[in-house]
Amino acid sequence: MTSQPIPPSSLPSFSKASEPMIKVEGLRKSFNGREVLKGISFEVFPGEMLAIIGPSGCGKSTLLKLITGLLEPDAGKITLNSEQIGLVFQGSALLNSLTVRENLALALRERKLPKREQDKAIMEDLTLVGLADYIDSFPTQLSGGQQKRTSFARAIVNDPQIILYDEPTTGLDPVMSTVIEDYMIELEKQLHAAGIVVTHQFSTWTRTAHRAILLNQGVVVWEGKPHEALNSTNPYIIQFAKATREGPMLAGKV
């Protein structure tokens, strides 16, 4: 995996001229006295995809929960320029008691669309992820990959200005990972939203993101463009990208 060349970025461009869509300043969070995030700051612009990468337990999932408001920070500030947020969960997190249509309608309910327009929006959305035939199925009747795509559809049905991915390809086979990554790139083109992807999957952050930040034990240890990662002199990103034992991360811990 690590020996493969990093693919050239064919991602849609974005401009830093406008206001950042997501602005995070000096974020801190502790659980039971253990500080998981020790002052994190970054910005994401409309149309940009930022990858947050790092080893297990580095605090990246916590960071995402703080941005979505599922957790409250101990210190620091999060500024979101839009109320429309889409979140793709690590599991698919679809409500098992509702059909695919009802799951998507739940995300649309604040728009109070007439029934026909709502159905049209849902249908368009499902067509995009290739699941139009499954509109009246229940999540338990779908395969793992189909559930994942449905949760994609749910996250984007509202045309969000901010889209967040929590480990979107973890646990998937390589082919399905590529399919999901292609959807992510396709969405960047269509939505022009500000995106954050939390992942430790090499292909995911190198293929889908404009920029990446590497977290280790709650602090940012590297920031840069994915295709520059392997040429970097930073020992953290070299170790992470090449997946070697030797390096500053987890030294003496394993």
Partner 1 sequence: MQASDAKKLAASPYLLVEDWVSIGVRLAGQVGIVIAKTFYYLLRLQIDWQESIRQAYFIGVKSFLIVSLTALFTGLAMSLQIAIQLVQFGGESAIGGVVSLALIRQIGPITAAIIVAGRVGSSIAAELTTMNVSEQIDALKVMRIDPIKFLVVPRFVGAMMMMPVLSIYAMFIGIFAGMVIALVYADVSFGVFLDSAKAMVIDQDFFVHFLKAFINAAIVIFYSCAIGLNTRGGAADVGNAVTRSVVWSMTVMFIVNYIVTDLTYEGPR
Partner 2 sequence: MDRPNGITVANPLTLLDKYLGIVLQLVGQATIMFLQTMRYIFRGELSLSEAFRQANMIGLGSLYVVGVTGLFTGFAMSLQISKELAAFGADTAVGGVVALALIREIGPITAGVMVAGRVGSAMAAELSSMVVSEQIDALKIMRVDPVQFLVVPRFLAALVMMPALSIYSMFLGLGGAIFIAQAKANIPPETFLDSVKQTVVGTDFITHIIKSLVFATIIIFFSCSIGLSARGGAEDVGHATTRAVVWTMTIIFIVNYIITALSPLHAS
Contact status: 171 vs partner 2 (CB under 8 A):
no
Give the nearer residue to partner 1 in terms of CB position, either 158 or 208.
158
Residues that bind partner 1 (CB under 8 A): 65, 68-70, 85, 87, 89-91, 93-96, 106-107, 109-110, 154
Q: Is 143 in the site for partner 2 (CB under 8 A)?
A: no
Q: How many residues bind partner 2 (CB under 8 A)?
A: 8
> Binding to partner 2 by residue 9, rule CB under 8 A?
no
- CA–CA separation, 130 vs 152, rounded Å? 11
Q: Least Å distance between CB 70 and partner 1?
A: 6
Continuous segment of H or E residues that includes residue 174: helix 174-191
Give the relative orientation of helices 144-156 and 100-108 as an angle to the nearest 10 degrees: 20
Q: Which is nearer to partner 1, 94 or 229 (CB)?
A: 94
Q: Which of 79, 96, 190, 244 binds partner 2 (CB under 8 A)?
A: 96
Least distance in angstroms from the C-beta of 119 to partner 2 = 16
Report which of 30, 39, 28, 79 is spatially closest to residue 220, judged by C-alpha positions.
39
Q: Which residues are at the interface with partner 2 (CB under 8 A)?
A: 96-97, 99, 136-138, 140-141
